[in-house]
A and B are shown apart, each in its own frame.
Chain A
Amino acid sequence: MSHLPALVDGFLTTLALVALSFAGAFALGLVVVVLRIAPVGVLRAVGTGYVETFQNIPLLVWLVLFVFGLPEIGVRFPLFTTAVVVISLYEAAYVAEALRSGVNTVAHGQGEAARALGLTFGQSLRHVVVPQAARRVVQPLGNIGIALTMNTSLAAVAGVVELTASANRVNLVEALPIPIFVGAGLCYALLAAGIGGLAGLLERRPAT
């Protein structure tokens, strides 16, 4: 297997894409969900607009827009950076929705009680809402992590040589598509199982 280094490189690139994009999506998703549940109407509208924009246009379209569209107006990033930014922006919408569903599981009265106690919006989020919502969003976030992992394979069309692209390159020489792509598929399955297992661990973690 003289091609193993190429496949390992591809796998590592996929790992980097997953880790960086998920970090970006989570950070941005947090901001978006705060906007979506904010008491100010304008902020809520901005949050809703963000989620609707990114959920309703396929990731591939965003990738093509960012890779080929932005340079037309003079903005050009390296391809790997572009892929991370686009996947983060896109998945952030889903992260925000998962977080919002967690927030919605916190009974309405809790928020009102927090306000009645004189807590500010930030304080009621920090002390009342987030601790209760956090554990309920672990599984949905895990599922988004798995979907994100699968979506990183689209970065191949944007010239990023991740696992799918390197499997393609190796297959071009070896003409053994079934073992090569089954192998690549197993790598993705392994990643997904890892993320699912991690989510399960976090969910069962004793309450603090």
Chain B
Amino acid sequence: MRWTTLSVVVLLVVAGCSGGESSVPGAAPASAIDALLAKAPVAANLPAGSAMARIRERGELLIGGSLDAPLLSQQDPGTGELTGFDADLGKLLAKYVLGEPKTKLVISTSETREPLLANGTVDVVLQTYTITPQRAERVAFAGPYYSSGQAIAVRNGTDGIAKPADLSGHKVIAGANTPAIAAIKAAAPTAEIVEFGSDPECLTALRQGRGEAYVQDQALLIADAAQDEDLRLVGEPFTTDPYGIGIKHGDDQFKRFVDDWLREIQKSGLWQDVWRNSIGTVVTGEPPTPPAIGSAQGS
């Protein structure tokens, strides 16, 4: 009896965490990315001895990234396919270097990204890696390839939080190891930050009243709100987070190569197509103007 009750509780929690939905946000039909890959460019000649030449020799691009970031880099539980904005860019980059979209994902975290790059375990990190001058001292950043921002979400019926400064004195939920923590500290120094490991956990905590607001990347919050009628976004993003592609520190040749590729796919409209297939499935309107390469301090 006791075990039955316990299992029911476990199942309820698990169901709560997964949102009870089987659909994966940002999961475009596989054919969409195949069509993009078909017209994706391939680099003409790679200088001998360069990082690109070594990757082509190896036959696959090693990418540091995530399996659980909706819209950005999430594994479809049904097909095992990685979908999302970062994931698709990774496939396009692999095609550019290798001629075919052969990638291998190495799960990286904010604790391991820099060592993984430094010791050559991965070739690039594509993981909503915000470019900052401090990080640029240890990592080379190509890009920025996307400009995002932190936004605030609250439950329906929450009053008194209309702008970032209103977070002062409130309990604010944020994802552990996300730029949200620094953003909250800067906008509302007296806010009490409560961290949880993943987006579903943060949403559960918000629903259970462990905080009055949730600060997270706007695209993720829009995806969450699309599945949850009780969630409401407040105001516009209040930070600018330029995401860069992490590359081994000091490898200017590889960085320029990736920058050139980013410029090329921005110009040809591939970047916009990738956006439509991923973030554009929940954010309405036309794709934004991609950030200018090299525009972020540290890129």
CA A76 – CA B209 in complex, angstroms?
9
Give the residues in chain A near B110, CB-CB below 8 Å: 168, 171-172
Q: B181 in the interface, Cβ–Cβ < 8 Å?
A: yes
A71 interface residue, CB < 8 Å from B?
yes
Closest to A177 in B: B111
Q: How far is the CB of B215 from chain A (nearest CB, A)?
A: 14
Assess whether A19 is interfacial by the CB under 8 Å rule: no
Within 8 Å by CB of A159, from B112, B138, B195, lies B195
Question: Is B114 an interface residue, CB under 8 A from the partner?
Answer: yes
Partner of B181, one of A76, A172, A175, A177: A172
- In the complex, B182 has a CB within 8 A of chain A: yes
Is B257 in contact with chain A by the CB < 8 A criterion? no
Complex interface: stretch among A62-70, A88-96, A109-117, A144-152: A62-70
In the complex, which residues 1-27 of chain B have their Cβ closer than 8 Å to any Cβ of chain A? 9-10, 12-13, 16-17
Query: Could you tell me if B111 and A159 are in contact, using CB atoms closer than 8 angstroms?
Result: no
Chain A binder among B49-57, B197-205, B237-245, B285-293: B197-205
CB distance from A55 to the nearest CB of B (A): 15
Contacts of A30 in B (CB 8 A): none
What mask results when residues 56 to 100 of chain A are scored 1 for a CB within 8 Å of chain B, else 0? Answer: 000001001101110111001001000000000000000000000
Within 8 A of A (CB), among B158-184: 176-179, 181-182
* Bound CA span A69–B6, Å: 10
Contact among B9, B16, B134, B178 with A174 in the assembled complex (CB-CB below 8 Å): B134
B176 touches A65 (CB 8 A): no
Taking CB atoms, residues of chain B closer than 8 Å to A169 are 177, 181
A159→B17 CA distance, assembly (Å): 16
Residue from A61, A69, A161, A176 having most chain B Cβ neighbours under 10 A: A69
Contacts of A64 in B (CB 8 A): 13
Contact B138 A175 (CB under 8 A): yes
Asked if A72 meets B209 with Cβ closer than 8 Å, knowing A157-B196, A157-B197, the reply is no
Which label, helix, strand, loop or mixed, suits the secondary structure of the A interface?
helix
Q: Which bucket holds chain A's interface residue count? A: 20 to 34
Residues in B with CB closer than 8 Å to A178 are 115
Q: Binary interface profile of B, 67-80, with partner A (CB < 8 Å = 1, else 0)?
A: 00000000000000
Q: How far is the CB of A62 from chain B (nearest CB, A)?
A: 11
Q: Who on chain A is nearest to B111 by CB?
A: A177
- Which residues on the B side are within 8 Å of A157 (C-beta)? 176, 196-197
Query: Which chain A residue shows the least CB distance to B174?
Result: A159
Cβ contact within 8 Å between A176 and B138: yes
B201 touches A68 (CB 8 A): yes
Q: Mark A146-168, 1 if CB is under 8 A from B, else 0.
A: 00000000001111010001001
A159 touches B134 (CB 8 A): no
CB of B36 within 8 A of chain A? no
Nearest CB of chain A from residue B210's CB, rounded to whole Å? 7
Whether A107 sits at the interface, judged by CB under 8 Å, is no
Q: Is the CB of A69 within 8 A of B13?
A: yes
The yes or no answer to B139 lying at the interface (CB within 8 A) is yes
A163 to chain B: closest CB distance in Å? 14
7 A-B contact pairs sorted by A residue (CB < 8 Å)? A68-B16, A68-B204, A159-B210, A161-B195, A165-B176, A172-B178, A175-B132
Q: Which residues of B contact A (CB under 8 A)?
A: 9-10, 12-13, 16-17, 110-115, 132, 134-135, 137-139, 176-179, 181-182, 194-197, 201, 204-205, 208-210
Give the 7 A-B CB pairs with smallest separation, nearest first: A71-B208, A175-B135, A69-B13, A159-B194, A177-B111, A157-B197, A175-B138
Q: A157-B197, A165-B195, A175-B134 are in contact. List 5 more A-B contacts (CB 8 A).
A: A69-B12, A168-B111, A168-B177, A171-B111, A172-B182
